[in-house]
């Protein structure tokens, strides 16, 4: 059974509304203009520090305030991480089926590990995953392939199918030389045919048959 490693934001969960809400609160505290949801979706993928950096730049806030605002963002986000976050349709059925058949499952995300685990637990899907590697688990983040390799190491395997939704995920899988299944309904900005992937899908009901074909 091939192990499966999933990205989190934009792949397992649609978390953009809660990420947006925390960003709005952070900027409102500064008396700065606040972005709409689509703008914040464009900031997602490279972890919280990068999201905050992009939001600050758009709002005209000095770069030397970055560390302080990352802390502010995390205070707001940690206080309310799942009110607006949902799992994607047909995902729960897929996870149950994969687990029943004996697939090892993991999460590799650029979100800090602690809130990632909280979200998985609060959404009732934490028990499906043997391993969670977050954006602060190692000294590097995706698209560096080391977080994905860490997942494999902790699972005791050498290969996996990586499932993600973004440019960062595609580059991570490519650099790790792992096949990728690209979820096309996440936070990707680049056309599907311009990203390296083995399989593209827009509904998790289609991913199970693909995995079984491997």
Q: Which is the catalytic residue, given 7, 9, 14, 169?
A: 7
Q: Quick one: CA torsion of 29, 30, 31, 32, rounded to 10 degrees? A: -120
Residue 45 has a pLDDT of 87
pTM for the structure as a whole: 0.94
7 assigned to active site: yes
91 shares a domain with 73:
no
- Domain CATH for 42: 1.10.150.240
> How many angstroms separate the CA atoms of 140 and 146, rounded?
7
Residue closest to 83 by CA, chosen among 128, 129, 20: 20
113 shares a domain with 71:
no
Q: Which segments of the chain have a pLDDT < 50?
A: none
Residue closest to 151 by CA, chosen among 107, 102, 113: 107
Q: What are phi and psi of 43, to 5 degrees?
A: -90, -15
3 state DSSP class of 108: strand
Tokens of 177: 């030389």
Answer whether 211's CB lies under 8 Å from 4's CB.
Answer: yes
202 shares a domain with 135:
yes
- Domain CATH for 195: 3.40.50.1000
Domain-terminating residue out of 53, 79, 105: 79
> How many angstroms separate the CA atoms of 82 and 101, rounded?
29
126 shares a domain with 173:
yes
124 shares a domain with 75:
no
60 shares a domain with 157:
no
Residue by residue, DSSP assigns 146-177 as HHHHHHHHHHT-S--EEEE-SHHHHHHHHHHT
DSSP 8-state code for residue 203: S
Domain-terminating residue out of 61, 79, 97: 79
3 state DSSP class of 126: helix
35 shares a domain with 91:
no
107 shares a domain with 175:
yes
Domain-terminating residue out of 27, 51, 79: 79
Contacts of 88 (CB under 8 A, 6+ apart): 11, 12, 13, 14, 183, 185, 204
116 shares a domain with 184:
yes
98 shares a domain with 22:
no
75 shares a domain with 145:
no
Residue 31 has a pLDDT of 97
Residue 59 has a pLDDT of 96
Q: Quick one: CA torsion of 153, 200, 124, 83, rounded to 10 degrees? A: 120
Q: How many domains does the chain have?
A: 2
Cβ neighbours, 10 Å, residue 58: 17
Residue numbers of the domain that contains 48: 16-79
């Amino acid at each position: 059974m091939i192990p499966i490693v999933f990205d989190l934001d934009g792949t397992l969960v649609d978390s953009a509304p809660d990420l947006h809400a925390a960003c709005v609160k952070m900027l409102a505290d500064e008396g700065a203009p606040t972005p709409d949801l689509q703008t914040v979706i464009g900031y997602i993928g490279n972890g919280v520090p990068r999201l905050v950096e992009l939001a600050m730049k758009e709002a005209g806030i000095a770069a030397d305030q970055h560390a302080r605002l990352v802390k502010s963002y995390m205070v707001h986000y940690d206080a309310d991480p799942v009110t607006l976050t949902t799992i994607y349709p047909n995902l729960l059925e897929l996870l149950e089926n994969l687990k029943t058949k004996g697939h090892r499952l993991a999460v590799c995300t650029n979100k800090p590990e602690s809130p990632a685990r909280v979200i998985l637990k609060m959404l009732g899907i934490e028990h499906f995953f043997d391993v969670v590697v977050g954006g602060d688990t190692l000294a590097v983040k995706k698209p560096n392939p080391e977080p994905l390799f860490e997942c494999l190491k902790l699972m005791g395997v050498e290969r996996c199918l990586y499932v993600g939704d973004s440019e960062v995920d595609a580059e991570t899988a490519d650099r790790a030389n792992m096949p990728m299944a690209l979820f096309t309904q996440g936070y990707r900005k680049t056309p599907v045919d311009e990203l390296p992937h083995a399989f593209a899908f827009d509904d998790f009901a289609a991913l199970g048959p693909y995995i079984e074909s491997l």
